[in-house]
Amino acid sequence: MFRYLPYLSMANISTIAGTDSNDCIGTERIPRSGCGTSLRGFIEPMTSFPLNFFFTNVKKFIGFVGTSRPASVGAFQSAIQSVLSKYSPLDTVVVSGGEPKGVDTIAVNCARQAGFEVLEYTPAVKSWEGANGYKARNIQIANKCEFVYSFVNRSGSPSCYHCHASHHKSAGCYTARLCKGGHEVVLV
């Protein structure tokens, strides 16, 4: 689709460009008389977007949280890669807690390897409470994500006090349960 530019005379263009008869010595000039005085026939492509533009450029935010002490790094990598295979790197952002150990690191490494964009929320304070502690960070993750996966060790304490299932307790379970879009606890 094309649209025409508004009428401009060469006199106006010369005025706008700040040129006069001495500025362009040795260059070809368009005459200012007769049919060469306008750019009315000059066309410019019109910017257009596909009808589903707003839907195709929306990113999903998927959270990966869980234990800081995985029983087997290889098993956790496999579980995380399995979950990532359900999503496309073109429209999905992986969100994690930015901790240097455990599920956070494994998820970020797997996601980057698979070509996903990564968003990490790191706590400024290494304590549960506080404005910038683990709890506040976990709430940020839950609020940002449409879905949260919590990866926990199958073995551990008799039951998690967040969800009362028999798996190792983890604050990842707390975070996943806060997510309004949904959550899944993945036992590894």
> Highest-confidence range of 11-25, 30-44, 111-125, by mean pLDDT?
111-125
* Per-residue model confidence (pLDDT) at position 59: 92
Instruction: Look up tokens 């798996």; give the residue.
Output: 167
- The string of DSSP letters for 103-155 reads HHHHHHHHHHHTT-EEEE---SSSSSSSTTSHHHHHHHHHHH-SEEEEEE-SS
* Per-residue model confidence (pLDDT) at position 64: 96
pLDDT digits (tens, 9 = 90+) for 69-95: 888 999 999 999 999 999 999 999 999
Asked if the model's pLDDT at residue 168 lies above 80, the reply is no
The C-alpha atoms of residue 31 and residue 136 are separated, in whole angstroms, by 70
* Per-residue model confidence (pLDDT) at position 172: 66
Position 109 confidence tier, pLDDT thresholds 50, 70, 90: very high
* Per-residue model confidence (pLDDT) at position 13: 45
The angle subtended at Cα 64 by Cα 58 and Cα 67, nearest 5°, is 170
> Highest-confidence range of 14-28, 128-142, 156-170, by mean pLDDT?
128-142
pLDDT digits (tens, 9 = 90+) for 62-72: 999 988 888 89
Which of 113, 107, 125, 128 is CA-nearest to residue 63? Answer: 107
Domains of the chain: 2-45 (no CATH), 53-187 (3.40.50.450)
Integer CA distances (angstroms), 136 to 5, 96, 126, 177, in order? 54, 13, 11, 14
Do 57 and 90 meet the contact criterion of CB atoms below 8 Å apart? no
Strand partners, 186: 151
Asked if the model's pLDDT at residue 1 lies above 50, the reply is no
